């Protein structure tokens, strides 16, 4: 095996958390955070210098028998605390559970993600062509992250000080694999608003994977991303909250969750590719609002709209929040009808997070016109209302 340098990476722990630990933590905590940051930044630099690396890495396809329902093809490897990937094969498709909990969690997480996309959206794996799903656990020593590198999922064990093992949260697995779906369908630029959309789409389907696995309705779900990753020493419940962005954690070392829930809090930053892990809170909250307003299982209607929007040819690599929002409204109309409850819920959600300007209707102001005399002042003309779309971050 050779030293593996990922050609494409999306990490679940945002750099602002690692930076905060590096600034405020103990010497050991700072060392771990700096090591994780250095790895992440080196790969981000490689990706920025070669945008073509954003695309899904080709892999051997697994053909299903024509006429049969596609099934997952999973392989779980043990990196054995090294950075050589993939590591030793320890569990293949349809093999029994392993004694290693991380192996089984990875296997199950890959399976539930495959099942969500296949059963709900008729998608055959990440590339819709039966791409095998590979994962490596026990990557490096006390590695505080998990990532998708375009070929496989890679999980660190955490340091057991601030972070638990990274297979513990099924929505993290769904989140990372969805980056592969997004890159394959829309290839959204990983910076600014397109990058925040990229992160948000992964959070949306990561949460739907968890809800689907638990058969939870929208009102039963916790809408948390990364629940269980923090140890009991950390003052926080998850990395992000789609229900209430900005409330997931507030810790002396990790800092306070900086995610905004509306465009009023949009962050202009040169860090983290333009704040992609921060501003994703805005479209995250829009999905939560739409899904809970529609009700029922979130993957059935709101999730369907988001999935079809992701596949819409009008969604471009440079699309911003307002572009994506407009497409979701159009997809809702196409799927459920003009002024349907689903379309209205999605429209209202984007208005609430202020990506759209809320429609405000006023009765026309009319002044009486006297025919017998000419008034000294001419009434101002009533201003015509304009469409609701806005892009406050332009």
- Secondary element (H or E) of residue 343: helix 341-352
Which token pair is 111? 């399976």
Output the six-digit token pair for 205: 């389907």
Question: Pairing state of beta strands 133-137 and 153-155?
Answer: parallel
Tokens of 122: 């008729």
CA dihedral 32, 37, 40, 46 (to 10 degrees): -130
Annotated catalytic residue 388: no
Q: Please tell me the distance from the alpha carbon of residue 107 to that of residue 99, in angstroms, as a whole number.
A: 13
Burial 89-110 (b: 16+ CB within 10 A, else e): ebbebeeeebebebbbbbbbbb
> DSSP assignment, residue 53?
G
Is 385 known to be catalytic?
Answer: no
3-state secondary structure of 78: strand
Query: Alpha helix locations (H) across 76-161?
Result: 101-115, 121
229: which 2 tokens?
């990753």
Q: State the catalytic residue, choosing from 277, 285, 342, 351.
A: 277
Question: Which one from 151, 176, 342, 351 is the annotated catalytic residue?
Answer: 176
Tell me how long the chain is.
394
- In contact, 269 and 278? CB cutoff 8 Å: yes
Active site residues: 176, 277
């Amino acid at each position: 095996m050779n030293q593996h340098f990922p050609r494409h990476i999306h990490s679940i722990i945002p750099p602002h958390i690692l930076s905060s630990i590096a600034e405020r933590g103990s010497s050991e905590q700072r060392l771990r955070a700096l090591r994780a940051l250095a790895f992440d930044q080196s790969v981000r630099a490689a990706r920025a210098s070669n945008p073509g690396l954003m695309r899904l890495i080709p892999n051997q396809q697994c053909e299903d028998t024509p006429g049969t329902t596609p099934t997952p093809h999973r392989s779980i490897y043990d990196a054995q605390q090294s950075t050589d990937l993939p590591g030793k094969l320890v569990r293949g498709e349809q093999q029994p559970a392993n004694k290693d909990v991380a192996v089984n969690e990875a296997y199950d997480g890959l399976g539930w993600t495959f099942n969500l996309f296949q059963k709900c959206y008729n998608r055959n794996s990440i590339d819709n062509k039966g791409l095998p799903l590979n994962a490596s656990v026990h990557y490096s020593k006390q590695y505080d992250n998990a990532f998708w590198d375009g070929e496989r999922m890679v999980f660190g064990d955490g340091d057991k000080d601030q972070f638990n093992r990274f297979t513990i949260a099924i929505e993290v697995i769904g989140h990372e694999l969805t980056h592969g779906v997004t890159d394959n369908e829309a290839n959204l630029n990983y910076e600014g608003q397109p990058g925040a959309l990229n992160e948000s789409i992964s959070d949306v389907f990561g949460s739907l994977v968890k809800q689907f696995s638990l058969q939870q309705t929208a009102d039963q779900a916790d809408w948390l991303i990364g629940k269980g990753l923090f140890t009991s020493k950390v003052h926080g419940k998850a990395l992000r909250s789609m229900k209430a962005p900005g409330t997931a954690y507030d810790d002396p070392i990790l800092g306070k969750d900086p995610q905004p829930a509306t465009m009023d809090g949009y962050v202009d930053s040169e860090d983290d590719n333009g704040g992609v892990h921060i501003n994703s809170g805005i479209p995250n909250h829009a999905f939560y609002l739409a899904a809970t307003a529609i009700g029922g299982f979130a993957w059935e209607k709101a999730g369907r709209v988001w999935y079809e929007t992701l596949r819409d040819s009008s969604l471009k690599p440079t699309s911003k929040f307002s572009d994506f929002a407009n497409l979701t409204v159009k997809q809702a109309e196409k799927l459920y009808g003009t002024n349907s409850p689903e379309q209205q819920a999605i429209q209202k959600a984007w208005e609430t997070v202020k990506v759209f300007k809320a429609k405000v209707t006023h009765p026309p102001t009319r002044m009486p016109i006297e025919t017998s005399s000419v008034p000294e002042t001419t009434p101002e003309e009533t201003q015509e209302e304009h469409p609701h779309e806005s892009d406050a971050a332009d």
